Amino acid sequence: MIAAAFHLARCYVARHRAQSLLLAAALALVVALPLCLKVLAHAVEKVMRTRAQSTPLLLGPRGSALDLMLKALYFKRQALPELSAQHLREIRATALAEAIPLDARFHAQGAPIIGTQLEYFAFRHLQVAEGRMITRLGDCVLGARVARERGLAPGGSLFSSQEQVFDMAGVYPLKMRVTGVLAPSGTADDDAVFVDLKTAWLISGAAHGHDDVAAQADTVLKQETANTVANASVRMYHEVTDKNLNTFHFHGAEDSYPLSAILVLPRDAKAEALLAGRYLKDSLPVQLIRPRDVFESLMSTLFQVERLVFIVLGVTLTAALAISALVFALSFRLRSREFRTLSDLGISPAALRLTRALEITLITTTAVLLALLLTWAVQSQAETWVRWLLG
Amino acid sequence: MAGITLTDLSFSYPSGQFRLHVDHLSVPAGSAFGLLGPSGTGKTTLLRLMAGLLPPERGQITLGTTDLTTLTEAQRRAFRLSQVGLVFQDFALLDYLTVAENILLPQRFTGTDATPTARTLAERLEIDRHWHQPTSQLSQGERQRVAIARALAHEPRFLFADEPTASLDTGRRDLVMDLLFECAARTSASLVIVTHDAALLPRFPQHARVEDWVP
């Protein structure tokens, strides 16, 4: 009886495959939504937790601690005020902590350019997989995904993006030499372009290189006591080469140069407490945050939102199941003549009930399989999507 | 061998507008019986009573040695599945099944294999070329022949056909009637055919007009 009922159910579902698949797909979506949400929330947690926990302290401009963390740890585009390099010097002067500067204001082919110092690579355990580390101004090493997705390799080059298209006097793109590609780390570092901090300042316009004005009298506009003012014909360099390297120079005091944030690695717990106390005052233009605390606060909010979404999805799922039950009931009612015929032929009500149950089972099984397939697809891409969302 | 016997049979619908009473009717095994009459006189109702699809108010319906009125609903159903062949007026085919699946549907539920018989029937009824085609793609006449093949495939001892030739041309009508009579004779089955086609009258050794039993 089971085989016959299954055959009948299978034939019906197969013959009406478009309608059955539509119903199964609708059910699958409703079932998959909470699963996918859970997967994405887990991916967010996975992507963010390790990095937040491995970063003891972070100094940045006062404001949203979350925005600061997203910018400095996950290189998310955030319009935050800058802090001056003076803070870097001050922290180093305390001898309480190691300080690693970060300048994350610029981009190249959509990837963030991170101006930092070599300590950053040691701190994040980043290894050069191909080529070599940055050695001079204008060099860059690429995160693994940036290199792979953009087809870049050591020996190649890439331009920094013009951040303000309509600002003719603003920052001009710098052609950077790719010296190396980092090994994949599974973190935001895979999606970044790393340059020396001075290269970042060069991109910002704090430094520049140009023809020797003293050697070309026709480029001099005005000669002042301490300065030579050149006219527009002087050739500015947009690429650092071995030949023009010495022409690059900085203007102004280094203390005034901008930074996005400073990773602060205190020597011990006491040093951490001392530093935290030092930056407690609200009147200071900077704040010192513990990324792990910010992360836990974020996750706590996220879980609250998740719970709320689950309640909504639970109601949606109940409504979808009720509608599906109605669809099945109406379908069976429309087919009452068919079931009466089967009954007239002598087929038992139990066999007919089994046939109907198997039809429902076939469709719901298809729905569950589709939901699992969808969840699997989301799971396989979850971390990529989360990084994309963060970036 | 006993055929079909109705004794003092009464039936009415709950509305009470239709009543049927048969004092006695006997169809010997291997014999055919024609139920004639115009539309709406109760031919189909009587056929359904004889096939055990409707329970009578009173009286006895005996198929072979089995008194249907003493059986439970489940027993009547099991009896129909193994002993009775039915051809419905509207064919009652399952459109999502193929010709083969429709013909062999009852056997699927009894777990028997009637494929060779079904194949032979399909050839005789000239529907074998549609064997793997869904019945929804067939013409009315072809669908009717599939319904007939389904009724005959398990070689029933009692065969009830409601207007089995209604959708057929004269040539196919004779073919179907020959087949029904032949099957009934070969398996010593009792055959009851409901028809309003007076031209078929000479083919029945016995027949009755249903309106005679409607008070």
Question: Residue A224 above 80 pLDDT?
Answer: no
A55-59, A170-174, B5-9, B94-98: the lowest-pLDDT one: A170-174
CB atoms within 10 A of CB A323: 14
> Cβ of A345 and B81 within 8 Å?
yes
Across the interface, do A344 and B74 touch by the CB < 8 Å criterion? no
Mean pLDDT of A223-246: 75
Q: Do B96 and A11 touch (CB under 8 A)?
A: yes
Choice among A128-132, B11-15, B119-123, B131-135 with the minimum mean pLDDT: B11-15
pLDDT at A346 over 80: yes
Q: What is the DSSP letter of A219?
A: G
Which member of A7, A8, A344 has the closest CB to residue B53?
A344
Shortest CA distance from A345: residue in chain B: B81
Contact state of B106 with A338 under an 8 Å Cβ cutoff: no
Residue A121: predicted pLDDT: 94
Model confidence at A168, pLDDT cuts 50, 70, 90, reads low
- Mean pLDDT over residues A230-238, rounded? 73
- pLDDT score of A215: 67
Of A91-100, A181-190, B56-65, B175-184, minimum mean pLDDT range: B175-184
Q: Tell me which of A205-214, A379-388, B198-207 is least confident.
A: A205-214
Among A29-43, A144-158, A222-236, the range with the most confident prediction by mean pLDDT is A144-158
% of chain A exceeding 70 in pLDDT: 93
The hierarchical CATH code for the domain B30-58+72-207 is 3.40.50.300
pLDDT, mean over chain A: 87
Which residue in this structure is represented by tokens 């390297």? Answer: A245
Residue A231 scores a pLDDT above 80: no
Average pLDDT (A259-280) is 91
**What tokens does A5 get?**
């009922």
Tell me if A151 sits within 8 A of A206, measured CB to CB.
Answer: no
Q: Which two tokens stand for residue A281?
A: 């005052």
Q: What is the pLDDT of residue A12?
A: 93
Q: How confident is the model at residue A177 (pLDDT cuts 50, 70, 90)?
A: very high
Count the residues in chain B. Answer: 215
Distance CA A77, CA A165 (A): 17
What local confidence, expressed as pLDDT, does residue B195 receive?
87
Say what the ipTM of the complex is. 0.86
List beta partners, residue A258: A84
Q: Does A11 touch chain B (CB under 8 A)?
A: yes
- Using the beta-carbon criterion (under 8 Å), do B96 and A15 form an inter-chain contact? yes
Question: Residue A80: which of A53, A62, A98, A101 has the closest Cα?
Answer: A62
Domain ranges in chain B?
A: 30-58+72-207
pLDDT at A57 over 90: yes
Lowest mean pLDDT among A76-90, A204-218, A377-391, B52-66: A204-218
| Model confidence band, residue A170 (pLDDT cutoffs 50, 70, 90) | low
- Collect all residues with Cβ–Cβ distance below 8 Å to B73 and sequence separation of at least 6: none
What's the N-to-C CA distance of chain A in angstroms? 58
Q: What is the mean pLDDT of residues A90-119?
A: 92
* Extents of the domains making up chain A: 2-47+299-390, 57-209+248-289
Quick one: average pLDDT of B103-114? 87
A30 Cα to chain B: minimum distance (Å): 29
Interior angle at CA A86, CA A390 and CA A285, nearest 5: 60
Q: For chain A, what's the residue count?
A: 391
In the numeric block, the tokens 């005789």 are attached to: B124
Cβ contact A256:A27 at 8 Å: no
The predicted pLDDT at position A213 comes to: 67
Q: Does the CB of A168 have a partner CB in chain B at under 8 Å?
A: no
State the pLDDT at residue A166: 62
Share of residues in chain A with pLDDT > 90 (%): 50
CB A378 within 8 A of CB A388: no
Rounded to 10 deg, the angle between the A349-390 and A65-74 helix axes is 90
DSSP state of B65: T
For A266, residues 6+ apart whose C-beta sits below 8 A from its C-beta are A56, A57, A96, A97, A272, A275
- Count the neighbouring beta carbons within 10 Å of the beta carbon of residue A223: 11
For residue range A123-154, list pLDDT tens digits in order. Answer: 999 999 999 999 888 899 999 999 999 999 99
B96 vs A283 pLDDT, higher one: B96
- Whole-number pLDDT of residue A6: 93
